[in-house]
């Protein structure tokens, strides 16, 4: 890490006192030996002048298979134009994306978290192989965003992340979660066939990421707080002129970072991750941010643990009344100023580290110096003296069910204590089927296991069962725990990321129907009313089920993935 100085010595990068704005690309395009490289590049449009410029990769996650990413090819072209205008040579390339919203509730969702690793690997591979001096990474869906940030951290070359932007609300302020909850309402007889069809046709009006403070908008906010995005990048609509400008400025900014020798290792320090956690809490963000920030920190070589979320969470309140547990959409926060005024409030309150460097080349405090506060009378962001919750909604729990930790999303609306008998399901599908069939009743704790990083594999999100619970009107009457994870759109009394996972013989694998579990958000405990001796007897008799996949990408992921408590990383 920390590669900011270099010269060329026998074809290798030597770190010394000189800052060269073309320290990587010149190994690819300079000298007689690299004539074949230049010949290949001329075929894709390079000129003599281009070989003298810093080479800037533009990593696009465009795909016409999800609203989140359907517009990113246009944004990537803007970033390329910005890099060229600033004196660089922009070079576009693509990586994959998958759609959580489409795959949700199906076997395809197993590939979602796996795609985070593939995206990080592919960006690292292209940038490393092609010798780019810096790059812009543009993401617009849950896993390609942390995947981009992980690649930025691993490569440690000047880089800027651009968020593809939030979607506008559908008719009657609907969004994707409205659809999932309408399915539950339909099962309960509260939503007619015609009403369900109307929700389906009007909830998703066009390009952009899911419109509440779900995982995409959470990660956009967290990445901006890390300092990897330009100010306001996290709070712009996908189809706005502001987002086009953001992309052009990102291309320009990377060229400046290359010339200044500012690399991600100067930005991604421990204080920056504390800033990201703080902002994630203040906006009421997704539990997935815990998993992804742990993974990005691992890529950056920064020590971050679940305990850091607890430590910071004790002093940071939830201030933004955003969906899913709140009332407002991201586009409504954008309309009153986005997250910059909130960050300014947090900074003034002493809750952010203002001395952290960002991709502007300035510190966070310098970026926020002239930010105006929200307009008077707005109802989305609360004051510190009357917060939505006085401390974090992201509650890290431990106990006899989760010795290595679990993550709950408790806003306070669900209550702080839930105790009851268990209904145990080996996998998401039988659980969702039972919920929709009315077999889960008030007071039950639904246990969904063998959905962890290794056991799933891929740690599927449980939006279908939680959406069904909410749609049936059981949101405050039923709890759900899992070694899988939750969509940012899930709400209710839910606990995920239970570690060790069932596939590794964790206590969640030993729970039986009717066992009594107590979940206490105040003490951060999740315990089973079964003796240690009985659990040992059950463990002795337990056998791991056959793996879901024995070859291919899912098998490779399962063989290398770490615990959710460590970010579910594969390297």
pLDDT of 19 over the 80 cut: no
Angstrom distance (rounded) from CA 286 to CA 274: 16
The number of CA neighbours under 13 Å toward the Cβ of 316 is 31
Share of the chain above pLDDT 90, in %: 90
Between the alpha carbon of residue 448 and those of residues 438, 457, 460, 482, 513, the distances in Å are 17, 14, 11, 5, 12
Q: One of 487, 490, 499, 565 is an active-site residue; which one?
A: 487
Share of the chain above pLDDT 70, in %: 96
The number of CA neighbours under 13 Å toward the Cβ of 568 is 35
Q: What is the DSSP letter of 371?
A: P
pLDDT of the residue at 22 = 73
Angstrom distance (rounded) from CA 360 to CA 367: 8
Let me know: does 519 contact 417? Beta carbons within 8 Å.
yes
3-state secondary structure at position 246: helix
When pLDDT is averaged across residues 74-86 and rounded to a whole number, the result is: 98
Handedness of CA 77, 78, 82, 83 (dihedral sign): negative
When pLDDT is averaged across residues 491-515 and rounded to a whole number, the result is: 96
pLDDT of 8 over the 60 cut: no
- Number of CB atoms found within 10 A of residue 430's CB: 12
Which residues, in sequence order, are CB contacts of 215 under 8 Å at separation 6+? 100, 142, 286, 288, 289, 487, 488
When pLDDT is averaged across residues 528-556 and rounded to a whole number, the result is: 97
419 is catalytic: no
When pLDDT is averaged across residues 223-238 and rounded to a whole number, the result is: 98
pLDDT of the residue at 1 = 34
Angstrom distance (rounded) from CA 363 to CA 567: 28
Per-residue confidence band for 20, with pLDDT thresholds at 50, 70 and 90? low
Least confident of 119-133, 375-389, 411-425: 411-425
pLDDT of the residue at 489 = 82
The tokens for 454 are 């290794």
pLDDT of 10 over the 70 cut: no
Residue 145, φ and ψ in degrees, nearest 5:
-70, -55
Q: At what angle do helices 288-300 and 270-282 cross, to 10 degrees?
A: 170
- Number of CB atoms found within 10 A of residue 364's CB: 27
The number of CA neighbours under 13 Å toward the Cβ of 503 is 23
3-state secondary structure at position 245: helix
User: What mean pLDDT is reported for the chain?
Assistant: 94
pLDDT of 18 over the 50 cut: no
3-state secondary structure at position 497: strand
pLDDT tens per residue across span 146-172: 999 999 999 999 999 999 999 999 999
Between the alpha carbon of residue 355 and those of residues 262, 271, 331, 369, 558, the distances in Å are 15, 9, 29, 12, 40
The tokens for 137 are 């990474």
pLDDT of the residue at 21 = 67
């Amino acid at each position: 890490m920390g590669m900011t100085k270099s010269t060329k010595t026998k074809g290798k990068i030597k770190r010394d006192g000189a800052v060269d704005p073309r320290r990587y690309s010149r190994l690819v395009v300079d000298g007689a030996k690299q004539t074949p490289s230049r010949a290949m590049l001329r075929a894709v449009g390079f000129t003599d002048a281009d070989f003298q410029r810093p080479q800037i990769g533009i990593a696009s996650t465009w795909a016409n298979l999800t609203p989140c990413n359907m517009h990113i090819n246009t944004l990537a072209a803007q970033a390329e134009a910005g890099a060229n205008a600033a004196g660089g040579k922009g070079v576009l390339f693509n990586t994959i994306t998958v759609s959580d919203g489409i795959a949700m509730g199906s076997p395809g969702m197993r590939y979602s978290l796996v795609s985070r690793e593939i995206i990080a690997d592919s960006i690292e591979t292209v940038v490393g192989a092609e010798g780019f001096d810096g790059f812009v990474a543009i993401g617009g869906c849950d896993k390609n965003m942390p995947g981009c940030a992980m690649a930025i951290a691993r490569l440690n070359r000047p880089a800027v992340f651009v968020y593809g932007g939030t979607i506008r609300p559908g008719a009657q302020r609907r969004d994707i979660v409205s659809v999932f909850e309408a399915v539950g309402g339909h099962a309960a007889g509260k939503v007619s066939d015609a009403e369900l069809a109307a929700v389906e046709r009007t909830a998703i009006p066009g390009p952009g990421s899911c419109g509440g403070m779900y995982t995409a908008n959470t990660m956009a906010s967290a990445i901006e707080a890390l300092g990897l995005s330009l100010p306001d990048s996290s709070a712009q609509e996908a189809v706005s002129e502001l987002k086009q400008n953001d992309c052009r400025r990102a291309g320009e900014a990377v060229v400046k970072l290359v010339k200044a020798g500012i690399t991600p290792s100067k930005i991604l320090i421990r204080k920056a991750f504390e800033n990201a956690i703080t902002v994630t809490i203040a906006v009421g963000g997704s539990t997935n941010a815990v998993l992804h920030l742990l993974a990005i920190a691992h890529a950056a070589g920064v020590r971050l643990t679940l305990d850091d979320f607890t430590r910071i969470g004790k002093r940071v309140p939830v201030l933004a009344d955003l969906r899913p547990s709140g009332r407002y959409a991201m586009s409504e926060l954008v309309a009153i100023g986005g997250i910059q005024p909130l960050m300014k409030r947090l900074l003034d309150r002493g809750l952010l580290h203002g001395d952290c460097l960002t991709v502007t080349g300035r510190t966070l405090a310098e970026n926020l110096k002239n930010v105006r506060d929200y307009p008077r009378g707005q109802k989305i962001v609360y004051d510190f003296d009357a917060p939505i919750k006085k401390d974090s909604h992201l509650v890290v729990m431990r106990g006899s069910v989760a010795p290595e930790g679990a993550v709950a999303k408790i806003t306070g609306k669900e209550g702080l204590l839930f105790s009851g008998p268990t209904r145990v399901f080996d996998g998401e599908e039988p659980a969702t089927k039972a919920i929709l069939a009315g077999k889960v009743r008030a007071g039950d704790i639904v246990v969904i296991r063998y959905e962890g990083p290794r056991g799933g594999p891929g740690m599927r999100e449980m939006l279908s069962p939680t959406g069904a619970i909410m749609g049936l009107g059981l949101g405050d009457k039923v709890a759900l725990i899992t070694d899988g994870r939750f969509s940012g759109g899930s709400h209710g009394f839910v606990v995920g990321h239970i570690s060790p996972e069932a596939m590794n013989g964790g206590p969640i694998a030993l729970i039986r129907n009717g066992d009594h579990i107590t979940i206490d958000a105040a003490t951060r405990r999740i315990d089973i009313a079964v003796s240690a001796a009985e659990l040992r007897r059950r463990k002795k008799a337990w056998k791991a089920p056959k793996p879901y996949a024995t070859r291919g990408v899912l098998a490779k992921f399962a063989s290398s993935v770490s615990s959710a408590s460590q970010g579910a990383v594969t390297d």
